Structure 1
Amino acid sequence: MRAQAAILRDPGKPFTVEDVSLAPPGPGEALVRVAGAGMCHTDMLFRGLAELPMPMVFGHEGSGVVEEVGPGVTRVAPGDHVVMSYDSCGWCGRCLTGAAPYCDEFMARNFSGVRADGSTGATCSVGEPVAARWFGQSSFATHAVATERNLVVVDRSLPLELLGPLGCGLQTGAGSVLISLNVRPGAGIAVFGAGAVGLAAVMAAKVAGADEIVAVDLHASRRELALELGATRALDGADPDLVAAVGQVDHSFDTTGVPAVIRTAIAVLRPGGSCGLVGTGGEITLPPTALTGRTLRFIFEGDAVPQEFVPRLIRLWRQGRFPFDRLIRTYPLDAINDAERDSASGATVKPVLLPGT
């Protein structure tokens, strides 16, 4: 079918909105009319990699309405409102034990930009293949072909255009706190980086009943927002004595991927504490004693199963306990380069593209 999509043809150049032709949904797939698509730091990070197939459509925090389903699809139907999350095979040992973020095929299905069989899923107006399977969706478009496994059906009364970020960034931050780190009532946690993922972690820590929630960021506006969303303290990341300023906590969570920040996140842990990483950056070197009695791990998608965790976040939002909508600023699809600029500068915490406007 015909659609419009924000296409990246060169890693060093802006997106261009163009007409594309999408292949019909195949076995296990569904065609979704996109209502909104969050712009995640992962999109911005990977769009600069020359190794990815170009031209390509990014976007992996989509939400929309199912318009058509492929053969064998039974869990979604035309008319369903859905949030699109990450893709997984469903049959490997990790998937069968509820650890789908660590699916044997996770990298191929989510970071390649193409289907598992190597097909791109779309062509441009002159018939050139366009990679349109980023995270099994490529939702920077008016329509996306997603997989049944990465769709979460949601209530039709909800503000559908705002829900896409629940499928990745917000799921990652909140899941890392509530599932991966298993923050308990009375615990202390330091969150490094108060972007969308970090602020989701702050809100989740408040939900978990943490007594001390320290948010660390370079932007004063984001530190202020973190305090409004549940942080008990907010510190400037440029503080030369940041370890002492944070003090000792039970958990730490780094969203920046900056090696020096990661070392600080580990240094503030009490013995027996745990540090979760989600940001990708340079290599870090640590003496073994830095991990004495401590746990360090890199987390995908907050260890969450979307069909269980996204509805949980929506329930918390309805209760007023996870006000993720405060992070969002919307942009029409043809303003995608403005959204990227505002996200990179820190002016917008979570841009959401509205392809229908």
Structure 2
Amino acid sequence: MNATAAIVNEVGGDYEFEDLKLADLGHDEVLVRIVASGICHSDESIRTGTVPVPTPAVLGHEGSGIIEQVGGAVKGFEVGDHVVLAYTYCGMCANCRSGQPSSCVKYNELNMSGRREDGSAMFTKSDGTPVSSLSLQGSFSTRSVVPVNNLTKVDKDIDLRLLGPLGCGFLTGSGAVIHGLRPETGSSVAVFGTGAVGLAAMMAAVIEGCSTIIAVDIHDSRLELAAELGATHTINSRTESLDERIDELTGGAGVDYAVDTTGVPAVMKSALNVVATGGSFAPVSASGKPLEFVPVSDLIFPKRNIIGVFMGNSVPQIAITQLIRHYREGRFPIDRLVRFFDFGNISQAVESSLSGEVVKPILVMDPSYRPA
């Protein structure tokens, strides 16, 4: 079986379309016809070398599609099922078995090496060159061979094109609040950065019943959207005093919880500084930039917590299903955040994300697809 994929042949290289050969199915794998894939900032970090993945590589880790073949040991899935693809995990280690697959001891090996555990590749060039597959889904492709642990089955009546970002960006943001910070009903939350991850976190705060939800950004258009989606207050930190506004909104106490999605050191420090005594801060950006603080004054005396949250601390098969239910109920309106692009316009879609023009670009690999 062959597939057309957008390949990064070298670090910093542009996307190039090539026809690739797909590996034969393993016993616990499925062949998925990719309908659509979200574009995540992590893809750009990998393309530019900030996060290492062996090249040549097929990136993309927010895919959605339809199963075309199943391996001999696969249970619970069949040809024709609609699925969302997330990260993969071993399913056997202590972390996986205790309900923490995002902490799988083999996470890096399985998701970042671009190879199966036996070292074989899912994609191969016509000359035999192996091609890495990000998160063993490589969703910037028209087809992909994917481990069953990546999959979440979804109903066929919902637009499959919308759902891919539930596997990473929307999962990360919402999970940072729901599974990471775990805010009490009536508590206050500040979200720094109102891109896809930040808006997902903000909408999750609405779902969790937070009474004061503050969106912080430097773009008024993003803040207007945040207000429409449930932010009770917005702050443009470029034109307003962040500390003064937070003091005004919280009676000088600070917020109970803060989430940073920017990865900018100065912004992360500002987010930590506005957390109330006994409150918690979750930095969730994968930028890799340092956060500097003085433990005695920033953590110990105010009894603040910094919480590590990865992939929303979520079990994809549970969290994605829950987020779809919230979407159906009108409480997680992801359709307000996306714009569709033809697969061939991948470079334009990436630029629209980097410029901030589009919150979440989604590539459509199968233009013939129509929701049931």
TM over 0.5: yes
Alignment of 1:121-270 (within 5 A): 121-132=122-133, 134-239=134-239, 241-247=241-247, 248-270=254-276
* Greater Cα offset, 274-283 or 153-162: 274-283
Distance change (3 Å), C-alpha of 1:244 and 1:281: farther
Cα distance, 1:267 vs. partner? 0.4
1:162 to partner: Cα distance? 1.1
User: How far off its partner does 1:233 sit?
Assistant: 1.2
Shift of 1:240: 6.8
Q: In 1, Cα distance between the equivalents of 2:244 and 2:136?
A: 43
2-structure distance, mates of 1:250, 1:220: 25
Question: How far does residue 75 in structure 1 lie from its aligned partner after superposition?
Answer: 2.2
Q: 1:286 aligns to what?
A: 293
Residue 143 of structure 1: how far off its partner (Å):
0.7
Letter aligned with residue 355 of structure 2: S
Counterpart CA distance in 1 for 2:108 and 2:238 is 34
User: Quick check: 2:189–2:255 contact (8 Å CA) kept in 1?
Assistant: yes
Deviations 1:63-85 (A, max 9, x none): 10011111311121111100001
Of 154-163 and 115-124, the range deviating more from structure 2 = 115-124
Partner residue, 2:333: 323
**Hey, what's the Cα distance between the residues in 2 that align with 1:11 and 1:128?**
17
Corresponding residue of 1:117: 118
**Aligned residue number for residue 303 of structure 1:** 313
Compute the displacement of 1:125 (Å).
3.0
For each residue in 1:303-337, what CA deviation from the matched residue of structure 2 results, as whole angstroms up to 9, or x when unmatched?
11011111100111101111011101011111100
Match of 2:278 in 1: 272
Aligned to 2:30: 30
CA contact (8 A) 1:174 1:204 kept: yes
Q: Which amino acid aligns with 1:282?
A: K
Unmatched 5+ residue regions in structure 1?
A: none
SS in 1 for 2:210: coil
Aligned to 1:57: 58
Q: Distance in 2 between matches of 1:243 and 1:145?
A: 50
Superposed CA offset, 1:183-219 (max 9, x none): 2211100001100000001111111111111111122
Percent of pairs identical after alignment? 44
Contact 2:2-2:19 within 8 A present in 1 as well? yes
Q: Which moved more, 1:179-188 or 1:231-240?
A: 231-240
Is residue 348 of structure 1 aligned with residue 335 of structure 2?
no
Spell out, residue by residue over 1:42-97, the C-alpha distance to the aligned partner (whole angstroms, 9 max, x if none).
11112111842111100000010011111311121111100001101001110010
Cα separation, 2, equivalents of 1:62 and 1:131? 16
SS of the counterpart of 2:324? helix
The answer as to whether partners of 1:259 and 1:281 remain within 8 angstroms in 2 is no
Are the equivalent residues in 1 in contact too, given 2:67–2:78 (CA < 8 A)? yes
Residue 115 of structure 1 deviates from its aligned partner by: 1.7
Decide whether the 8 Å contact of 2:68 with 2:80 is kept in 1. Answer: yes
Matches of 1:115 and 1:49 in 2, distance apart? 21
Q: Which moved more, 1:5-14 or 1:184-193?
A: 5-14
3-state DSSP of counterpart to 1:127: coil
Q: Which residue of 1 aligns with 2:251?
A: none
Question: Bigger shift: 70-79 or 251-260?
Answer: 70-79
- Note if contact 1:255-1:277 (Cα within 8 Å) is conserved in structure 2: yes
Give me the TM-score of the superposition, normalised by structure 1. 0.97
Q: Distance in 2 between matches of 1:71 and 1:246?
A: 57
| Correspondence for 1:79 | 80
Counterpart CA distance in 2 for 1:284 and 1:216 is 18
Q: Give the equivalent residue in structure 2 for 1:66.
A: 67
Greater Cα offset, 212-221 or 195-204: 212-221
Q: Compute the displacement of 1:239 (Å).
A: 4.5
Moved over 3 A (4+): none
Q: Is the 8 A contact 1:75 1:148 kept in 2?
A: no
Equivalent pairs counted in the alignment come to 356
Q: Could you tell me whether the CA contact under 8 Å between 1:258 and 1:281 is conserved in 2?
A: no
Question: What SS is found at the alignment partner of 2:307?
Answer: strand
Amino acid at match of 1:291: L
Please name the residue that 1:337 is paired with: 347
SS at match of 1:352: strand
Q: CA deviation at 1:298?
A: 2.4
- The residue type paired with residue 78 of structure 1 is V
What is the SS of the residue equivalent to 1:64?
strand
